[in-house]
Amino acid sequence: MSSQEVCIRTQGVTRKFHDKEVLHGISLEVRHNEIFGLLGPSGSGKTTLVKMIAGIDEATSGEVEVLGIRMPKLSMMNRIGYMAQSDAMYNELTAKENLEFFGALFGLKGATMKRRIEEVMALVNLTDHLKRPVNAYSGGMKRRLSLAIALMHEPEVLILDEPTVGIDPVLRKSIWDEFEDLSQKGTTILVTTHVMDEADKCHRLGMVRDGHLIAVGTPEALKQETGSATIEEAFLHYGGVRV
Amino acid sequence: MRIRAVIVRIARQFIHDQRTMALLVVAPLLVLSLMYLVFNGDTYQPKIGTVQLPAAITEKLTAADAKVTAYDTVEVAEAALADQEIDAFIRLDQGTAQVKLEGSDPSKNRAVMLLMQKTLQGQAASAGVAGSSNGQAVAPEFQYLHGSADMSSFDSFSPVLIGLFAFFFVFLIAGVSFLRERTSGTLERLLATPLRRWEIVVGYMAGFGIFTSLQAVLIAGFTVYALGSLMVGSFGYVLLIMLLLSLTALSFGTLLSAFANTEFQMIQFIPIVIVPQVFFSGLFDLESISPWLRWITHITPLKYGADALRGIMIRGEGWSGIALDVYVLAGLSLVFMLANVLALQKHRKI
């Protein structure tokens, strides 16, 4: 893989919390325009890893690079969109006010702000609920609004931590179609999931278990290599369990 | 630009959350009004029992605003005293007046003793006039450097109280909302934007500052103009001090929220951080406090605020009188803000 193709690179990344190592030397490369899925059970270290890539957390040792720049770096925040696992929004505020606030932090204003609000809300199918306070939203709606906020500033790199939890299958499909569309237009998407059927939709997958990256490859290659019919079987295979 | 976004957001949160707004504004006004009613009442009329006293003394007592009840025997008076029907009874024993007090309430004790001094001294003075030919008993004439004879307890408390309320409610609200930023995950989301740590802190100070200024104007204005508290100095200085006090509370509350994990833990700071400040703020006389405890007063922000407010409102002090307090409060706010910027490093290094 030539260095121009690489969008996100981690090199021997280790993260310790109070002497307990939760990530053990993860080396990973995500290419431009790719939808890369991090698959693993909860507690495997996915969130810790994507936080370091998003520049919120810092590796204990090893290097994280995004778009060729060593993270964490404040100026990179404008080029990265991050959606956390929790629906972090201001519940008293309306959806519009939330979008305006986060948009303004990324320097959006005036007509651009207005246009982006319309676009992202249409994307997550919440246009009719723009003026409702977030505390009147259902869980799935909050998840979608959270995604909309991450998309506001049209980031080159999108990091999504379990973006489709609690979203109904029809909408989930339309959101994945949108991810595909964004990736066609040049956005690199790093998404974590523990839903195996979602993993099939990723261009490439990284399997994480107990803080180790146990396998990387396209869903087809991973299945083929292990002689499995499903991603789940492949995961079990790499995890050391024979079916 | 980014700071402005934080300010606008905080303002909008306030507008949507009327309950918090009410706590910031209505609660202090309510408590102040109650304090006014409690401390500004008429002076207490002691209830005095008499046991076979000459009518002249009884008349004098009644004239001095006491409620006098006459008893026939000491036993009956003792019983009335035990039942708290009277605060004290007085009888004559071989020419000297014997007063027995109920004694469980120091303020009533003082009221009784003051009354006794007045009436019995008057008795002695009139005796003196009759006895000596040239002597004219000279009653001292009192003059006041500050305040006046009809200054009430409320006048003396109100500067401390308005400072306390500005401090307490702002501390609580700012602390809890900054904490919620952390527990709800929005802080993490903020840290995934180009917003700098100091911009978060400054944005918070400015956003809340708008509402605490409003609160300061309302509390001070209500106390001075509606409740008619004593006000000798400049209203502008009062506002300045209140604003500085609430900024200190703001920076202090947001800083302390870094050491709490839940709203409940934030409430737990009240007995540790707020209550001691109340004791050292000047509501109680600290002249007689142990010297080894006195140093505490120098580290409580509320004391500086209360001192300055008292100086302005009661003694009419100008800039030179409050300058030190202003510098200390501004300095403390700055230190707390810087510490908060550093504390946020726990969440994002850059």
Return the amino acid letter for A20: K
> Of B209, B240, B212, B239, whose CA–CA distance to B224 is shortest?
B239
CB contact under 8 A, B17 and A90: no
State the nearest Cα–Cα gap between B170 and chain A, in angstroms.
19
Residue A58 phi/psi, 5-degree rounding, is: -125, 140
CA distances to A32, A78, A198, B282 from A176, rounded to whole Å, are 18, 23, 9, 65
Nearest to B218 by CA among B179, B268, B170: B170
- B196 interface with A at CB cutoff 8 Å: yes
Q: Is B188 on the interface with A (CB under 8 A)?
A: yes
Residue A243, Cβ density class (10 Å: 0-12 exposed, 13-18 middle, ≥19 buried): exposed
Higher-pLDDT residue of B19 and B147 is B19
CB A220 within 8 A of CB A237: no
B88: nearest Cα among B54, B61, B122? B61
Task: With CB atoms and an 8 Å threshold, state whether A75 touches B194.
Answer: yes
Contact criterion met (CB < 8 Å) for A56 and B348: yes
B81, B102 Cβ separation under 8 angstroms:
yes
Give the residue extent of every domain in chain B: 47-144, 153-345
* pLDDT of B285 over the 70 cut: yes
CB A98 within 8 A of CB A134: yes
Whole-number mean pLDDT of chain A? 90
Give the number of other CB atoms < 10 A from CB of residue A175.
Answer: 20
Whether B90 has a pLDDT exceeding 50, the answer reads: yes
The CATH code belonging to domain B47-144 is 3.40.190
Query: What is the average pLDDT across B212-235?
Result: 88
Q: Give CA torsion, residues B324, B325, B330, B333, to 10 deg.
A: 140
Closest CA to A155 of A86, A67, A96: A67
Residue that is written with structure tokens 């409580």 in the block: B300
The model's pTM: 0.82
* pLDDT value of residue A11: 92
Contacts of B196 in chain A (CB under 8 A): 74
Sole residue written with tokens 């959270």: A146
Q: pLDDT tens digit string along A201-213?
A: 999 999 999 999 9
Q: What is the mean pLDDT of residues A51-55?
A: 92
Task: Report how far residue B273's alpha carbon sits from residue B148's, in angstroms, rounded to the nearest whole number.
Answer: 35
**Tokens at B15, concatenated:** 């507008």
**How far apart are the CA of B273 and the nearest CA of chain A, in angstroms?**
29
Mean pLDDT of B31-35: 86
Q: Kindly report, residue by residue over B166-179, the tens digit of the pLDDT.
A: 898 899 889 999 99
Q: Which two tokens stand for residue A42?
A: 């909860």
Residues of chain A in contact with residue B347, where contact means CB-CB under 8 angstroms, are 56
Q: Collect all residues of chain A within an 8 Å Cβ-Cβ radius of residue B178.
A: none
Chain-chain contact of A88 with B188 (C-beta, under 8 angstroms): yes
Strand duo B67-71 + B47-51: pairing: parallel
Q: What's the rounded mean pLDDT across residues A41-50? A: 90
Looking at chain A, the number of H-run helices and the number of E-run strands are 8, 10
Neighbours of A68 (CB within 10 A): 10
* Amino acid found at B309: L
In angstroms, the CA B151 to CA B162 distance is: 18
Instruction: Name which of B6, B24, B15, B2 is nearest B186 in CA terms.
Output: B6
Residue B258's pLDDT band, with cuts at 50, 70 and 90, is confident
pLDDT score, position B251 = 94
* Res. B102 pLDDT band, cuts 50 70 90: confident
Residue B295 has pLDDT above 80, yes or no: no
CA A80 to chain B, closest CA, distance in angstroms equals: 8
Q: Give the number of other Cβ atoms within 10 Å of residue A72's Cβ.
A: 22
Identify the pLDDT of residue B95. Answer: 76
* pLDDT value, residue B328: 94
* Stretch 155-184 of chain B: residues touching chain A, C-beta under 8 Å: 184
Q: How many CB pairs under 8 A join A and B?
A: 83
CA distance B54 to B41: 32
Residue from the list B9, B187, B188 with its beta carbon closest to the beta carbon of A101: B9
Q: Report the alpha-carbon distance of residue A198 to residue A191 in Å, rounded.
A: 10
User: Amino acid identity, residue B283?
Assistant: L
- Give A72's contacts in chain B (Cβ within 8 Å): 348-350
Q: Tell me the three state secondary structure of residue A228.
A: coil
DSSP state of B261: S
CA distance B74 to B100: 11
Residue B129 has pLDDT above 50, yes or no: no
At A238, list the tokens: 């790499």
Interchain pair A93, B16: CB under 8 A: yes
Q: Summarize the confidence of residues B50-78 as an average pLDDT.
A: 85
B49-53 long-range CB contacts below 8 Å, 24 or more apart?
B49/B77, B49/B80, B49/B81, B49/B85, B49/B86, B49/B88, B49/B89, B49/B90, B50/B89, B50/B90, B50/B91, B51/B77, B51/B89, B51/B90, B51/B91, B52/B91, B52/B92, B53/B90, B53/B91, B53/B92
Tell me the mean pLDDT in the region A207-224.
92
Q: For residues A123 and A149, which has the higher predicted lDDT (pLDDT)?
A: A149
End-to-end distance of chain B based on CA atoms, in angstroms?
Answer: 19
pLDDT of residue B128: 47
- Least Cα separation, residue A1 to chain B (angstroms): 29
Nearest to A74 among B5, B12, B194 (CB): B194
Q: What is the mean pLDDT of residues B17-29?
A: 86
- DSSP line for B74-135: HHHHHHHHHTTS-SEEEEEETTEEEEEE--S-HHHHHHHHHHHHHHHHHHHHHHHHHH-SS-
From chain B, pick out residues whose CB is under 8 angstroms from the CB of A105. 2, 5, 190, 193-195
- Mutation target among A51, A102, A151, A190 for the B interface, most CBs of B within 10 A: A102
Q: Mutation test of the interface with chain B: which of A105, A145, A190, choosing the one with the most B Cβ atoms within 10 A?
A: A105
Give the rounded percent of residues in chain B with a pLDDT score beyond 70. 94
Nearest of A133, A183, A132, A127 to residue A155 by alpha carbon: A183
Phi, psi (rounded to 5 degrees) for A202: -75, 150
| Whole-number pLDDT of residue B39 | 77
Binding-site residues on chain A for chain B (CB distance < 8 A): 54-58, 72-75, 77-78, 80, 82, 84, 86-93, 97, 100-102, 104-107, 133, 149
Greater model confidence, B156 or B3: B3
How does pLDDT run across A136-184, given as a tens digit for each residue? Answer: 998 888 988 999 999 999 999 999 998 888 788 888 888 898 899 999 9
Q: Which of A53-62, B61-70, B160-169 has the lowest mean pLDDT?
A: B61-70
Say which DSSP state B274 is in.
I
